[in-house]
Copies of this chain bind each other. A is one copy, B any other.
Amino acid sequence: MSQLVAVGTVAFDAIETPFGKTDKILGGAATYIGLAASHLSVDVALVAIIGDDFPQTFLDLLKSRRINIDGVAIIPGEKSFFWSGRYHHDMNSRDTLATELNVLTQFDPKVPKIYKDADVLLLGNLNPEAQLAAIAQMTGPKFIVMDTMNYWMDNSYDALTKVIAKVDAITINDEEARQLSGDYSLVKAASKIQSMGPKFVIIKKGEHGALLFHKDQVFFAPALPLEEVFDPTGAGDSFAGGFAGYLAKTEDFSFENLKSAIIYGTALASFCVEAFGTKRLTEINHSDIQSRLSMLKSLIQFDIELH
């Protein structure tokens, strides 16, 4: 079975939305990535760090989805990364209430030996130094995807550009693409970012969908219009996990196949937002996903004859 290595956070989240609030629940980019990718029948391994306060039930949940967690280091006497946020009524903006890095400050990713030759490496949003350390341990992945955010552009620009130069694809939101490139036009921004390294630039626009740029080609994936967005936490990571999971499964890194991978990512993200945290990602099955792919297909289907 094809292998996917996902490097990122495994953490506690506490979330408030207009619909309610949670205590400390299972969160973290690698968690969402792993759960989303686990629906693609690939061999997923997480590389992360937690404290010994992390409940065994959370780890068991990951294992029950056949996710390998040998690369999740447990640091005795230390606390796990914790993030807390409150979403505004529009669900597109949020206030961070707490960010306790805890063990994350000493994260030195260790890719398990049997995963060093995995085909696909997904670098979740993390310190670029940690992303570089993970890349260095791989024996030659066929495809590397990275996620990042404006914080690293502001605080670790040089290391960030080193990672960007080494990856095949970057996922980034529209505002961050503008910041990274200095161009307001997303078409120009994507072109400039391609010149920094990645052959593929994926611009995430949340409820407005996602754009995939490759050379002079562009693909647009719509987001599914949802009656209710319950909790957007992890949507971007679920998208990345579905995307990278599909690539690992198919081992086809063409523009055409990346388009399909983005549609899988979109489908998985659309489930993620339907309930707090990771809940929906652990409930859905193959036929749920197929039905959502079919909804995405018909959402944009039109028939115009050109002449």
Contacts and interface: CB of A to CB of B under 8 A. Distances in A.
Interface of A: 89-91, 184-188, 205, 208-209, 211, 218-222, 225-229, 256, 259-260, 262-264, 290, 293-294, 297, 299-304, 306-307
Given A205-B208, A208-B209, A219 B185 contact: no
Nearest to A91: B184
Given A185-B229, A205-B208, A226-B185, A304 B297 contact: yes
A222 B222 contact: yes
Given A205-B208, A220-B225, A263 B185 contact: no
A299 B300 CA distance: 11
The listed residue with most B CB atoms (<10 A of its CB), out of A221, A256, A303, is A303
Contacts of A259: 301-303
Copies of this chain per assembly: 2
A220 B306 contact: no
Contacts of A89: 184
B184 A219 contact: no
Given A220-B299, A222-B222, A299-B219, A227 B304 contact: no
B187 A225 contact: yes
A67 to B, nearest CB: 24
B187 A211 contact: no
6 contacts: A187-B227, A209-B209, A211-B225, A218-B299, A219-B300, A290-B306
B222 A209 contact: yes
Nearest to A92: B184
A215 to B, nearest CB: 14
A-B complex: 5 closest residue pairs judged by Cβ atoms: A208-B208, A259-B302, A220-B222, A187-B227, A300-B300
A91 B185 CA distance: 10
Contacts of A227: 185, 187-188
Nearest to A178: B90
Given A208-B209, A260-B302, A297-B304, A185 B228 contact: yes
